[in-house]
Amino acid sequence: MAEPACTESAGRNRFSADFRLRKTDEYSSVFAFRRALRGRFFTLHFRPSDAGSARLGLIVAKRLARRAVQRNLLKRLAREAFRLRRSGLPEFDMIVRLTSPAKDASRRDLRDDLDNLLGRLRR
């Protein structure tokens, strides 16, 4: 019998539903806490989590990233940055929100901004 494609070590690095903010009231509670870190392109809103692990929500407004391809790229970059750093992050509910047009930004600029914001979070 074949071994499952997702081994235990690979499963720990997945961006599963347990690490996502999904409901409107989860987003509202993070915004109501009124703590944020600002970067060049993104703002990271956060509050202590009740879930026992770091969780992520994303907001990419159509007025700042007109094309769906660009919005999806920005979300993928944010999810990947979170996924790679999740084990070292404090137990916060976080929302990454695009606050400045990223039209002329390179992927490296966007990734650096996300890594900087996640690195500034303190336990």
Sheet holding 55-59, edge to edge: 36-38, 42-48, 92-98, 55-59
The tens digit of pLDDT for each residue in 35-93 reads: 999 999 999 999 999 888 899 999 999 999 999 999 999 999 999 999 999 989 999 99
According to the model, what pLDDT value does residue 20 have? 93
The tens digit of pLDDT for each residue in 52-67 reads: 889 999 999 999 999 9
According to the model, what pLDDT value does residue 5 have? 43
Domains of the chain: 17-120 (3.30.230.10)
CB-based burial label for 42 (10 Å; 0-12, 13-18, 19+): buried
